[in-house]
Amino acid sequence: MGLSIEQHEIACRACGAKIIFEPMHRSVRCPYCDSPSVIDRPATSDRPDPVFIVGFSVDRHEATRRMRQFVARKKLAPPGLRGRAAERVSGVYLPTYLYSAVASSTYSAKIGEDYYVTEVSRDSKGRTSVKRRRKTEYYQLRGPHHSYVGDVVVTASKGIPNNEIEAIEPFDLGALRRFSSPLVSGWISEEPSLTREECLQLARRESESKIRNILRLFMPGDSVHGLEGHTALGKESFDLVLLPVWVFAIRYREDRPPIRLLVNGQTGKTWGEIPVSWGKVAIVAGVILGLLAVPVILGLIAGLFR
Amino acid sequence: MKSPDLSCGRCESPLEVEDLRCPVCRRSAPIVAPLDNPEPSVEILRCDGCGAAVSYDVRARAPKCAFCGSQTRVEAPEDPIEQTELFLPFTVNRTAAEGAYQRWLGGLGWFRPGDLLAATTLESVKPLWWVGWVFDSDATVSWAADSNAGAGQADWAPHAGQTEIQYRNTVVSASRGLRDDETDHLVSSYDIQSARGEPEGGGEEAVIERFDVQRSAARRQVMAMIERVAEHRLKNGKIPGSRFRNLHVSVILRRLVRRRYAFPSYVLAYRYKTELHRIVLSGQDETRILGSAPYSTARILLAVVGGVLALAALLTAVLTLIG
C-alpha cells in the first residue's frame, strides 16, 4: 500500500520501525513499541507553530464518567445509548486561535428616560381616583466606545466546528503555557485544517458579536431602542493555541453513524448532540394525554350514572 | 522580574519576564523566534532517569515516564507572590510620633471624656511599613451615563463621551493590617520621590508587611482602582450635571507601569479604662493621624438636653412675641 500525497513516513527513534503519520497530526505513537514522538515541521502561514497550550487536567477515567453522566441526564435518548461503551475515545489537542484586538466603535441609540405623572380622574358618579402613570421621554444618543477585546477562541479544525468548541467553553486561559513538544507527547495533536484567513474572519465575527453585547450593557437610561454600532478592529493578535478535548464516538445502532461527544479536557464540561428516541417521545406524549383525559373520562362516567 | 526591554507591542505596558500575555490588553508577549528548520524532524522525549520515552501525564500535568515515574520539568505558568521593590523612609521618629499622639488625643473636642488624657495608657507604638502598588498610566476612557443636565420632564437625560485620563503615582493598598480608610487617609502624606531600595528609619523593631497576593490578583486590584478613579474623575467635572446614575466606563490603558512600595507608618494602641483603641500615623507626616477614641455619653446627653431646652426657650419667646 503506497502513501497518499500528504502522508509521511518516519522511522521510530526507539525501535526503528517505519511509522506513517497523518499530515494533520503533530504527534504520533509507534504501533510496535508504543514510543511517543512529536513531529517538528517547518511552520507555514496556514500551519504555524503553536504559541500556547492548555494541558489536560481531566484524565480518561474522569472524562468517561462525565460523558456517562451527560448521557444519563438525557431522558429521551435512544434506549441503546445509555451504558453503551464508547467505540473510540481520544484525548486530542485541538488547534484553535486566540484572538485579541482594540475595538473602536461608534454607536447611536434612542434612550428612554422614565418619569411618573399623577392623574386624577372623576367617574360618572363623581368619585375621584388618583393614578400614577409612567411616561417616557426619548433622547437620541451618539457616542464612542473603545475597549480591548481578548480571550476570543475560535476553532482551526475542520473536524470540530466553532459552535462545538463554544459549547464546551470556557477554558481557563490563566493556565496557558508556552507550547513545547513534551506537553503533547503521547497525545493526538492535530494541525490546523482551516486556513488562517478563515479563522481570522471567524474571530472577527465573534469579537463584533461580543462588542454588540457590551454596547447593549453600556447604554444608560431606562430603555434602549434601535441601538446601532459600527466597530473597527485594530492592532490584532492571533496565536495558535492547543486546547485539550476528549472526543468520544458512541455507536448505538449499526445502521447509524456514531454520535460524537466532547469533554473539555481542562474543566470536564461535556457536550454532544444526543438523538431523541421517538418511541420514548410517543410514550411521554401518551402519558400526558392520558392524564389530561382522566377528568374528561371521569366526567363522562359521572354523567352516565346521573 | 521586570525587563526594561520587554513591553507590550500594543499598549506599551512593561511586561514581566514570566508574562505569556500582556495583563492589560492580552496580546501575546514577544517570544524568541525559533531556529529555521526547513525539514520535518521527529523529536522523541527520553526520561532522564531510565531512558524510556516519556508522555505528558494528566495527574502530574507534565511529561512523566511510565516506567520509573520521573517527571520532566516544563515551563509552568508563573504567578508569583508580589515582593516589595521600593521603601519610603521614616522621617518621623518614635518620640515625634508619641508627641503627635498626645496632641491628637488632647484636641479631639468637648464630646470626649474629660479624663481622656489622664486615664489613658499608651500600650504600644509599632513602626510598620505597609505595602501597596503605585502606578502610572495613560487611559482613554469612553463613558455613558444619565445625569440631571439637560433633563426635561424626567429627572435624567443620557450623555456620552470620551476623555483622556492620566494616572500619576496612584496608590492602591495591598495591606492586610491597615483598613482602606486608614491607608486612604495616609496616602497623600507621602513623598513618593523619596523612595529607595532599602528600608530606612523606624528602628530595629520596625515591621515590614509582606505582599500576600499573587501577581494576577494584584493586577485585578489595580484594574479595579483604575475604574474607580476614572468614575470619580468623570463625576467631578467631565460629565455635565451634578447628579448621576447608570455610569458605564470602558478604559483603554496604555503604558501601565506598576511598582511595589512599602509606606512607613506607626500603629499605636492605647487603653482608656478597659477599652483598647488604635490609631495610625504617617511615618512621613506627624499631623496625618486617624484612629478611634471614646465618646462621653454624659456630655452628649447634656448637649442634647441643652439643645432641646434652648429650642423650647426660643419657641416660647417667639410665641410670647406673637401673642
Determine the residue of chain A that is closest to B216 in CA distance.
A174
Contact A13 B42 (CB under 8 A): yes
Check CB contact of B54 with chain A, cutoff 8 Å: yes
Contacts of A36 in chain B (CB under 8 A): 44-45, 53-55
Contacts of B38 in chain A (CB under 8 A): 42
Interface size between A and B, measured as CB pairs under 8 A: 188
Q: Indicate the burial class of B260 (C-beta count within 10 angstroms; 0-12, 13-18, 19 or more).
A: middle
Contacts of B162 in chain A (CB under 8 A): 143-144, 146
Contact A220 B74 (CB under 8 A): no
Per the CB < 8 A criterion, the answer to whether A109 and B126 are in contact is: no
Please give the share of chain A, as a percent, with pLDDT higher than 90: 46
Contacts of A178 in chain B (CB under 8 A): 20, 31, 75
Please give the average per-residue pLDDT across B247-271, as a whole number.
94
Q: Which H, E and C letters describe A181-200, residue by residue?
A: HHHHCCCEEECCCCCHHHHH
Contact B156 A113 (CB under 8 A): yes
Per-residue model confidence (pLDDT) at position A2:
43
Closest among A205, A206, A216, A232 to A147, alpha carbons compared:
A232
Distance from CA of A1 to the nearest CA of B (A): 23
Omega of the bond prior to A170 within 30 degrees of 0, cis? yes
Higher pLDDT, A301 or A116: A116
Q: Is the pLDDT of residue B4 over 60?
A: no
B25 vs A115, A201, B8, CA distance in Å?
A: 40, 20, 8
Give the DSSP H or E segment for A203.
Answer: helix A196-218
The 10 Å Cβ neighbour count of residue A18 is 10
Contacts of B8 in chain A (CB under 8 A): none
Band (B62; pLDDT cuts 50, 70, 90): low
Cα B65–chain centre separation: 46
β-bridge partners, A143: A107
d(CA B131, CA B88): 10
Distance from CA of B125 to the nearest CA of A (A): 43
Closest among B317, B313, B159, B309 to B248, alpha carbons compared:
B159
Contacts of A59 in chain B (CB under 8 A): 58-59
Residue appearing with cell numbers 479595579: B224
Please give the average per-residue pLDDT across A56-85, as a whole number.
85
Q: Is A261 helix (H, G, I), strand (E, B) or coil?
A: strand
Per the CB < 8 A criterion, the answer to whether B233 and B165 are in contact is: yes
* pLDDT tens digit sequence for A110-141: 999 999 999 888 888 888 888 899 999 999 99
User: Of A43-47, A261-265, B64-68, B146-150, which gets the smallest average pLDDT?
Assistant: B64-68
Cα A14–chain centre separation: 39
Please give the average per-residue pLDDT across A222-228, as a whole number.
97
Closest among B250, B236, B252 to B147, alpha carbons compared:
B236
Q: Is the pLDDT of residue B70 over 70?
A: no
Check CB contact of B161 with chain A, cutoff 8 Å: yes
Q: Is the pLDDT of residue B73 over 90?
A: no
User: Of A99-103, A129-133, A257-261, B69-73, which gets the smallest average pLDDT?
Assistant: B69-73
Q: Is the pLDDT of residue B3 over 60?
A: no
Q: Is the pLDDT of residue B271 over 90?
A: yes
Distance from CA of B26 to the nearest CA of A (A): 6
Distance from CA of B166 to the nearest CA of A (A): 16
Handedness of CA B54, B55, B60, B66 (dihedral sign): negative
Please give the average per-residue pLDDT across B50-77, as a whole number.
58
| Residues 6+ away with beta carbon under 8 Å from B80 | B18, B214, B215
- By DSSP bridging, strand B86-87 and strand B62-64 are unpaired
Contacts of B216 in chain A (CB under 8 A): 174
d(CA B142, CA B234): 10
d(CA B162, CA A107): 13
Per-residue model confidence (pLDDT) at position A190:
84
CA dihedral B60, B64, B67, B70 (to 10 degrees): -90
Contact B158 A38 (CB under 8 A): no
Cα angle A265, A270, A274 (rounded to 5 degrees) comes to: 140
Determine the residue of chain A that is closest to B25 in CA distance.
A148
Contact B63 A237 (CB under 8 A): no
Contacts of B21 in chain A (CB under 8 A): 176
Higher pLDDT, A178 or A36: A178
Grid cell of B41 as nine digits? 524532524
**DSSP structure string for A29-96:** E-TTT--EEEEEPPP-SSSPPP-EE----S-HHHHHHHHHHHHHH-TTS-TTTTTPPPSEEEEEEEEE
Q: Which H, E and C letters describe chain B, residue by residue?
A: CEEEEEECCCCCCEEECCCCECCCCCCECCCCCCCCCCCCEEEECECCCCCCECEEECCCCEEECCCCCCECCCCCCCCCECCCCEECCCCCCHHHHHHHHHHHHHCCCCCCCCCCCCCEEEEEEEEEEEEEEEEEEEEEEEEEEEECCCCCCCCCEEEEEEEEEEEEEEEEECCCCCCHHHHHHHHCCCCHHHCECCCCCCCCCCEECCCCCEHHHHHHHHHHHHHHHHHHHHHHHHCCCCCEEEEEEEEEEEEEEEEEEEEEEEEEEEEECCEEEEEEEECCCCCCEEECCCCCHHHHHHHHHHHHHHHHHHHHHHHHHHC
Per the CB < 8 A criterion, the answer to whether A207 and A233 are in contact is: yes
Handedness of CA A14, A18, A19, A22 (dihedral sign): positive
Per-residue model confidence (pLDDT) at position A24:
66
Give the DSSP H or E segment for A113.
Answer: strand A88-122
Distance from CA of A235 to the nearest CA of B (A): 7
Contact B54 A55 (CB under 8 A): no
User: Of A38-47, A52-61, A238-247, B84-93, which gets the smallest average pLDDT?
Assistant: A38-47
Please give the share of chain A, as a percent, with pLDDT higher than 70: 85
Higher pLDDT, A287 or B71: A287
Please give the average per-residue pLDDT across B67-82, as a whole number.
59
Check CB contact of B273 with chain A, cutoff 8 Å: no
Per-residue model confidence (pLDDT) at position A112:
97
Q: Is A212 helix (H, G, I), strand (E, B) or coil?
A: helix
A147 closest CB neighbour out of B10, B63, B252 = B252
Contact A221 B146 (CB under 8 A): yes
Contact B155 A147 (CB under 8 A): no
Q: Is the pLDDT of residue A1 over 50?
A: no
Distance from CA of B35 to the nearest CA of A (A): 10
* pLDDT tens digit sequence for B102-121: 999 989 988 999 888 888 99
Give the DSSP H or E segment for A166.
Answer: helix A162-168
Per-residue model confidence (pLDDT) at position B146:
97
Grid cell of A145 as nine digits? 466606545
Per-residue model confidence (pLDDT) at position A40:
67
Handedness of CA B251, B252, B254, B257 (dihedral sign): positive
* pLDDT tens digit sequence for A164-201: 999 999 999 988 989 888 888 888 888 888 999 999 99
Longest distance between any two alpha carbons in chain A, whole Å: 105
Per-residue model confidence (pLDDT) at position B189:
96
Listed by number, the residues of chain B in 120-159 with a beta carbon closer than 8 Å to a beta carbon of chain A are 140, 142, 144-146, 151-159
A37 closest CB neighbour out of B44, B76, B251 = B44
d(CA B270, CA B265): 16
| Residues 6+ away with beta carbon under 8 Å from A47 | A41, A191, A192
Band (B64; pLDDT cuts 50, 70, 90): low
* pLDDT tens digit sequence for B30-47: 864 544 544 455 555 555
Per the CB < 8 A criterion, the answer to whether B265 and B281 are in contact is: yes
Contact B142 A143 (CB under 8 A): yes
Which phi and psi (to 5°) does residue B223 adopt? -60, -40
Q: Is A151 helix (H, G, I), strand (E, B) or coil?
A: strand
Please give the average per-residue pLDDT across A263-272, as a whole number.
94
Contact B75 A145 (CB under 8 A): no
Residue appearing with cell numbers 486617624: B290
Q: Is A286 helix (H, G, I), strand (E, B) or coil?
A: helix
Average pLDDT value for chain A = 86
Contacts of A214 in chain B (CB under 8 A): 250
d(CA A13, CA B222): 51
Contact A237 B27 (CB under 8 A): yes
d(CA A204, CA A213): 14
Per the CB < 8 A criterion, the answer to whether B16 and B2 are in contact is: yes
Per the CB < 8 A criterion, the answer to whether B172 and B222 are in contact is: yes
pTM greater than 0.90 (yes/no)? no
